[in-house]
Structure formats: structure tokens, C-alpha cells
Amino acid sequence: MRHLAFDTSHAGVPVTYFAGTIALALFALQPVYVALSLAGAFAYSLACRGLRETLLKLRWQLPMIAVVGLANPLFSAQGATVAWRLGPVAVYWESVAFGLTMGALLAASILWFENAAATLPADRVLALLGARLPVVSTMVVMVAQLVPQLLRRGRTAGSALDACTAASAPAPTPVSRAARLSGVVMSWAMEDSLERSDAMRARGWGATRRRTSYRGRRLTTADAALLALVALLLALNVALVAVACSQWHFYPTMARLVPWWGYVPYAILMLVPTALALADDISWRLTK
């Protein structure tokens, strides 16, 4: 059994943590911070999904980093240090470094979003925001449910289309096949949306101004303490990230990276969910 971080905490704690962490991961465009963010996201993915599923995700994440890193120098030829030349095009090390950093930033952000989705199921989000933001919480839950459903239906439609070889002679081109699949899946989704909206109205959605909701867990003293610690770490790292990013630049030449104590609080912040998941797992094993 996989143990997740914040599993016994109030939903406000993981929402605050992942919202702040993802925001920092998106805006901290500095190599050390990007590396720490990617390492923290990868570590928590190992804790909550296991080695096999995490490595399966790396099959497309690592090529994505390589593609972004190699494509950026071709479209943004900036810098002062020439790495090599492709005919008349000069490739600069600064552009390569910027592309690799952007690719790693993209991979880290996607991993953090996936980690947040694994830690915060739809019922916890709905319980937290259902009464105050019913439309927003319903949209979040719907997106979390319907996107995987749409992908499954796309695979189902593709399998059915590939099985009907006699009806599709001659063989469709990739473009025509994709257009046909898109039409089938979108028609299916639109029909389902009408049925879903009718079902929601039949159950009283929008009948009153204020919506009642079940509160499964109240904010305890321990939750408040953990929330305060997360907020303190986030506030401290916002200031430290602003200082580090203001002193770092890729162009025209890269600034020099030096050891700095400000990386330590960010590393602690990135490892919080992994530490909580491991502590929960150890505690569970000791009580068996």
C-alpha cells in the first residue's frame, strides 16, 4: 500500500503546499532551483507511485528535455560562447543551457501537477471548496474526471477504427485518421455533456444560492501548525528565489553559480511530501 503525504491532514494543507510549490517551480528559472524542483518531484513520485510507474513517465519526459534543449539554440541563437556550427548557424552554450533548463522546468512542473492530482483526489477538493466556490470546485473535479475519460474514449475509437479495415479501404492517412477520431470523440463528449448537465439539474444543482457540503475533517491544531510551517517555508523561499533569480542570467554570458545557503530552505520545501510519506510508511510498518 502506497502512503501519500498529507493523507491525514486537512485538505487546506496540501492545497496550500502544492499551489505554492508549483508557482515557485514555474517562476524559479535558475539552474539550481530547477534541479532541486525536479529532484523533489521525482522523489515524491517514487514515494507515491513506485519505481516502475515513475520510470515509465521518464520515457517521454527525458526526450522532452532533450528536444527542448536542442531546439532552443536553433530558434534562439543568442550568447557569447560558440559550441559548434551547423552551416551558417552558430549554436551557443548559453542557448543550450537555457533550453535544457526550460525542458527540466517543464518536466518538473508536469510531475508536480501529477503529484498534486495523486495526493488531492476529487472528493477532498470538493469538500474544501464545495461550499465557498461551488462552480470552481465542480470544474476542477470535472476536468480531473473527464480528461482521462476522453483519452480512454480516444483509444477505444482508434481501436474500433483500426478493426474496421474493410470499411476504411484504402487505408486513411494519419491526418484524416486523426480528424475522424477527433470528430468521433468530440461528438461523444458533447452528447455526454448534455446527459451530465440534465443529471445535475435533476439532482438540484443551482436550485439554491448557497450549497451545503459535507465537512469530513475540521482544521485541528496539528493541521494549523503544519499549515503555518508550509506557509513560512513558502514565504521564505519566495524571497530567496527572487534574490537568486535577480542575480542570475543566461545571456549574453551565464552568471557563475556559487554555493549559497539559500538553496537549503528550497530543498527542504521540495522534500516535505516525500518525508511525510516515508514517515507515514515507517509508522504504519512499526504498528503492524
274 lies in the same domain as 229? yes
Whether 176 contacts 195, CB under 8 Å? no
23 lies in the same domain as 107? yes
Q: Determine the Cα–Cα distance for residues 161 and 121; give it in Å rounded to an integer.
A: 33
Mean pLDDT of the chain: 79
Whether 247 contacts 260, CB under 8 Å? no
> Inter-axis angle of helices 93-119 and 51-75, to 10 degrees?
150
1 lies in the same domain as 91? yes
Q: Which of 187, 212, 237 is the last residue of a domain?
A: 212
136 lies in the same domain as 224? no
Supply the pLDDT for residue 39.
Answer: 92
Model confidence, pTM: 0.70
1 lies in the same domain as 107? yes
Give every residue of the chain whose pLDDT is below 50, as ranges: none
Q: Which of 148, 177, 212 is the last residue of a domain?
A: 212
Q: Which of 191, 212, 233 is the last residue of a domain?
A: 212
Supply the pLDDT for residue 35.
Answer: 92
44 lies in the same domain as 187? no
The range of the structural domain enclosing residue 16 comes to 1-124+218-288
pLDDT tens per residue, range 177-227? 777 778 888 888 888 888 888 887 787 766 666 666 555 667 788 888 889
Supply the pLDDT for residue 206.
Answer: 66
Supply the pLDDT for residue 235.
Answer: 94
Q: In whole angstroms, what separates CA 7 from the centre of its chain?
A: 19
